């Protein structure tokens, strides 16, 4: 293997390492507020059960659907973050 080829591969490896570190840092920054959103959505779902008799069925349905959408979206983001973390560890 020639020296220039080895140097080129080293540069590529260094770039991938940097990309992995960047991805890991971004995941960490996203994961902290995401945990808050997920746990808050779970608490809201539990709390809605207690207010179901004090609001109309339509309002309850709308709120339940909204909380469910928040939860689904947050879990989707969590899966993406997990996938990026796996990539970051591999690189």
The pLDDT of residue 73 is 94
Which residues of the chain fall short of a pLDDT of 70?
90-91
Q: In 1-91, at which residue ranges do the beta strands (DSSP E only) sit?
A: none
Average pLDDT of the chain is 88
Residues 6+ apart with CB under 8 A from 89: 20, 24
- What pLDDT was estimated at residue 91? 56
For 48, other C-beta atoms within 10 Å of its C-beta total: 16
The pTM (predicted TM-score) of the whole model is 0.71
Q: Supply 73's token pair.
A: 């979206």
Question: What DSSP designation does 55 have?
Answer: S
Rounded CA-CA distance 78/62 in Å is 24
CA angle 20, 26, 29 (to 5 degrees): 145
């Amino acid at each position: 293997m020639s020296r220039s080829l080895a140097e080129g591969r080293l540069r590529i490896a260094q770039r991938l390492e940097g990309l992995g570190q960047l991805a890991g840092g971004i995941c960490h920054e996203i994961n902290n507020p995401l945990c808050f959103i997920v746990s808050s959505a779970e608490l809201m779902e539990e709390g809605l059960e207690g207010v179901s008799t004090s609001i109309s069925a339509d309002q309850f349905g709308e709120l339940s659907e909204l909380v469910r959408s928040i939860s689904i979206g947050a879990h989707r983001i969590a899966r993406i973050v997990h996938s990026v973390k796996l990539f970051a560890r591999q690189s």
